[in-house]
Amino acid sequence: MRALLPLLLAGCAASWSEAFDPSGDGYLSSVWGTSDDDVWVVGGDDDGASVRHKVGDDWTRPEPPDVPLLVWVHGFGPDDVWSVGLDGTVVHWDGTSWEQLPAPTDQDLWGVFGHTPDELWIVGGTVGGGRPVLFRLAGGTFEEVEITSDLNPRQARALFKVWGTGDTTWIVGGNGTILRKQGAGDWAFVSPGAGATEDWVSLWGTSGDRITVVGGRTRAQVGVWDGSAWTTTVHDDVPGLNAVWSGRADEAIVGGVGGWVGRFDPGTGALTAETPISPIDVHA
């Protein structure tokens, strides 16, 4: 995994600028917040985790938990923030300090998401030699969901991100794997469509029928869910994508290898590059 370039999209000109000086932070891999005045960024290096917190206009450097590198952050409010990372790390911020929960696995954890604070889904798998893992965290207790052959026909070694909207939750991972859980139903494999042969890395959406998933290791791979099926397109002239965020139905902001940044239109399939400000890989 490479460093996240901390970026802010500023003004109508849609130009990129550096949010803060990341010197000493190591790799930065995820950002989440409740508002422009309350934003968390997590990451780290071989020496341990790194955390940044934007309070108002200032980026602070709160004492990080004494854990390995953190990969993903998700929360429900200023006093309810979760992060997961390498070696099965799970930590929680209560508004004052970080608490580490007993590791549910020794596999690296890549994503965490919950529709409500009462139930979280956590995904992972150590790249290169691990196995895909999926946990439900409720009432302080981890429950592992077995990744059966029916859920993993593509033999993914890791699940990378989890996200949802309404009562539906999605997971994406290695070799084009996509899983879905609808309401109280069981997890099920969903076909990603022709062309989805490489890893999915991240996903985001604005509604149940407008979701974008990105990935690709040798080239960009982008998928769109229209409410009934996934359609995947491959962009040979764009490097692999790691990051996606969307605030409106007709646009997703994406980033990836070598500092590539741009915009994707889920309706037309157009992927438009923007001027990068660094060759560092982009995550979100």
pLDDT tier, 3 (very low <50, low <70, confident <90, very high otherwise): very low
Give me the CATH code for the 1-103 domain, please.
2.40.128
pLDDT at 62 over 90: no
pLDDT tier, 14 (very low <50, low <70, confident <90, very high otherwise): low
Looking at the DSSP assignment, which residues form a beta bridge with residue 191? none
83-130 pLDDT, tens per residue?
999 999 999 999 999 999 999 999 999 999 999 999 999 999 999 889
Q: What angle do CA 227, 255, 86 make, to 5 degrees?
A: 90
The residue ranges of every structural domain in the chain are: 1-103
Please state, rounded to an integer, the average pLDDT across all residues of the chain: 93
pLDDT at 11 over 80: no
Residue in the block written with tokens 């974008």: 212
pLDDT at 167 over 90: yes
Among candidate residues 134, 222, 139, 138, the one with its CA nearest the CA of residue 170: 134
Q: How much is the average pLDDT of 253-282?
A: 93
Query: How far separated are the first and last CA of the chain, in Å rounded?
Result: 13
pLDDT at residue number 196: 96
pLDDT at 10 over 50: no
Among candidate residues 219, 225, 223, the one with its CA nearest the CA of residue 194: 223
Residues 51, 217, 113, 244: what is their CA dihedral angle, to the nearest 10 degrees? 80
In 166-281, which ranges are E strands? 168-173, 178-182, 188-189, 200-207, 210-215, 220-225, 230-235, 241-248, 251-256, 261-264, 271-274
199-220 pLDDT, tens per residue?
999 999 999 999 999 999 999 9
Among candidate residues 123, 115, 67, the one with its CA nearest the CA of residue 92: 67
Q: Structure pTM?
A: 0.94
